Amino acid sequence: MDHLNESEQTVLKQTDLISKLKNIVGEDYVLTDYESRQFYSMDFSEEVSPIAIAVVRPQTVEQISQIVISAKEHQATVNTRGGGMSYTKGHVPTNEQTIMIDNSLMNRVLNVNTVDRYVTLETGVRWVDLRAALKGTGFRVPYLGTLSGNHATVGGGLSQNATGMGRTTLADHVLGLEVVLGDGRLIKTGSSNTKNTSPFYRYNGPDLTGIFLCDSGAFGIKTKVHLLLEPWPQMSFGCVTFPDRIKLTAAQVEIAQTGLQTEAFAFDGKYLNDYADNPPLPKETKAAMVKDYLAHHPNKWRAYRGLLKAWHPSGLGFLRGLPNAMYFITEAHDHASADRMSAKVLKICKQFGGRAIPTAIPLGLRFGSYLNVGEIMANKQGEVNFPINAKFEASKAVNAIKAFEDFIKENAQIIEQHSIRLTCNTLLHGHFWGIEPVISWQRPLSPYRFHYATQDRRDRTLGIEENTQRTAAAIDLRYRMTAMFRSLGSLHVQWAKAYPYADSIESKATWQVLTDLKDALDPDNTLNPGALGLGTGLNK
């Protein structure tokens, strides 16, 4: 190859690598056409990034190990994509010599053990698949998945420490992992790594599991996970609207101190109007949801009373015009206890001006389907969007929501000039509080968004032309808002490549340990370089 120039050598290496990848997984499972490579290299972030040279769709852990070894030998990097629902450039390449692993074919639920209370699954399993596999067992994983669970995978949630529905975050319920390292080695963590022992326990000596959780794929490719199961509890639902966001947040702070709620999620009025305008669910869908609800509630008197609390003659029309709505769910071993807990939460809400409204939202989220991602890719106004998230201790929540409102006022001219909209959701999971502003603006659908968007959303964006200044302003708002939250001491879900993880680390010794781990687990920086700021020279 010495007689070839650098560009010719690169092409030859790529050709040889792609040939080896086809030998590993089969020719039909290596995608090299431009459209596929572009689609798999994008996410919600709306920023221009390099495009992978190939997309590989393995079906076994042995294939993943061989892919990593082959990429390493050819000086290529490997990024792993689950359901593609990242909005922080989680799987997006940072260089053009990237192989994208599509993990969606690693989608088997391998073992449901209700006696020892764990479930073992491959990490390409979607949340909707896991729900189906556990249906009828009487057991669940305490964390129930993200709202995008029709597409989002468990593996993506492990890398980003997903928050969403259920108790606390996904990482809290992990018992062990199987992981491919950056040199192709395969390791196991938790008690599954002990001879003749099942994966029922996590802390089997030093906790190696934690290294690979919330790592945005920087330390290893998670191929299998063991998750804790618990019996389905009895549930009680509440839903409240408040005069404004500050009072709502103050109520969430008070609720967080009690620990009564499993979750408490508040939607902005903009989303409520969208829900109110949605067509009613088909009768068969409603019937299936009610049947599932009643099956989970043996006390039929309380169950029917709960259904009556959710019903309204207008369907979801009662949401129209409300400034916000916070639903909450309480859980206990019996329905009466859950109802008492719910009454206490409602009493707190009323102290902050809250008014009870029908509980259709939480009932639908627990017993209906996951949200239609196609309706999120572009909204009814023909806008694209991305969320920003920040996590705070409860004591900082009111200051954070006030800072958000001040940020809107300070940037009012830019927001108005470019017809950008800022909306906001907030949530409780356990003892901490989270805020999720969403930035929306008009822009043509990218191939990524177009792929998922429903036809009516595609139609709404027809004729919209790219305005580079508007898009640049929206992305700039994102990073400046992130900096504002960081100045208040925020943490983030999905640190990945959009949030300044490396710069947030206070201790130089801590960062050195992290870089040492990266060197030990991924010596050639093969896996997702740039995730967490590792492999970029940051924080040196």
Q: CA-to-CA distance for 160 and 396, rounded, in angstroms?
A: 23
pLDDT digits (tens, 9 = 90+) for 12-60: 778 999 999 999 999 999 999 999 999 999 999 999 999 999 999 999 9
12-16, 267-271, 361-365, 414-418 — which is least confidently predicted? 12-16
pLDDT at 297 exceeding the cut of 90: no
- DSSP helix/strand/coil, 51: coil
User: What is the distance between the alpha carbons of residues 53 and 12, in angstroms, rounded to a whole number?
Assistant: 13
Closest Cα partner for 400 from 485, 300, 323?
A: 485
For residue 501, give the amino acid letter: Y
Q: Is the pLDDT assigned to residue 8 strictly greater than 70?
A: no
What sections of 262-334 are H helices per DSSP? 269-277, 283-295, 300-310
Place of tokens 């082959």: 70
The conformation of residue 150, written as its DSSP 8-state character, comes to T
Q: Which residues pair with 331 in a beta bridge?
A: 235
> What confidence category does residue 9 fall into, taking pLDDT thresholds of 50, 70 and 90?
low
CB hemisphere CA count around 73 (13 angstroms): 12
Across 331-344, b (16+ Cβ under 10 Å) vs e yields bbeebeebbebbee
pLDDT at 196 over 90: yes
Within 8 A by CB and 6+ apart from 136, the residues are none
Residues near 453 by Cβ (< 8 Å), separated by ≥ 6? 374, 377, 378, 445, 461
Nearest to 474, CA basis, from 406, 415, 516: 415
Show the DSSP H helices in 411-504 as ranges.
412-417, 447-452, 455-460, 468-487, 501-504
The pLDDT score that the predictor gives to residue 3 is: 63
Task: State yes or no: pLDDT of 2 exceeds 80.
Answer: no
Q: Which pLDDT belongs to residue 446? A: 95
DSSP reduced 3-state for 204: coil
Q: What's the pLDDT at 281?
A: 85
Res. 371 pLDDT band, cuts 50 70 90: confident
Average pLDDT over residues 344-372: 95
Model confidence at 261, pLDDT cuts 50, 70, 90, reads very high
H or E element, residue 175: strand 174-180
The pLDDT of residue 537 is above 50: no
Give the model's pLDDT for residue 360: 94
- 3-class secondary structure for 61-112? HHHHHHHHHHHHHCCCEEEEECCCCCCCCCCCCCCCCEEEEEHHHCCCEEEE
Question: What secondary structure letter does DSSP report for 233?
Answer: P
Instruction: Tell me how far apart the alpha carbons of residues 536 and 540 are, in angstroms, rounded to a whole number.
Output: 10
Gap between the Cα atoms of 504 and 48, Å rounded:
25
Residue 469 tokens, joined: 């200044």
| Mean predicted confidence (pLDDT) in 498-509 | 94
Check: CB of residue 119 under 8 Å from CB of residue 144.
no
Entry pTM: 0.94
Pick from 256, 250, 293, 88: which is nearest to 168 by CA?
Answer: 256
**E strand or H helix at 389:** none
Band of residue 494 on the pLDDT scale cut at 50, 70, 90: confident
At 425 the pLDDT is 95
Q: Is 330 helix (H, G, I), strand (E, B) or coil?
A: strand
Residues 203-228, mean pLDDT to the nearest whole number: 96
pLDDT of residue 376: 86
Whether the per-residue pLDDT at 280 is higher than 90: the answer is no
Residue 181: both structure tokens together: 């390292």
pLDDT tens string 107-118? 999 999 999 999
* Tokens describing residue 285: 């869908």
What does the block give as tokens for 193? 């790594």
- Supply the DSSP symbol for 153: B
Ordered alpha helix ranges (H), 164-299: 245-258, 269-277, 283-295
Tens of pLDDT, residue by residue over 441-463, are 999 999 999 999 999 999 999 88
Structure tokens that stand for 536 in this block: 């970029």
Place of tokens 């949630």: 157
pLDDT at res. 4: 62
pLDDT at site 13: 79
Locate all alpha helices (DSSP H) within 74-229, ordered by sequence.
Answer: 127-134, 154-160
Handedness of CA 24, 28, 31, 33 (dihedral sign): positive
DSSP class of residue 471 equals H
pLDDT, residue 539, reads 38
pLDDT digits (tens, 9 = 90+) for 462-474: 889 999 999 999 9
The predicted pLDDT at position 211 comes to 96
- % of the chain residues with pLDDT over 70: 97
**Amino acid 7: pLDDT:** 66
Token duo for residue 35: 């459209």
* 489 Ramachandran zone, left/alpha/beta (phi>0; psi -120 to 50): left
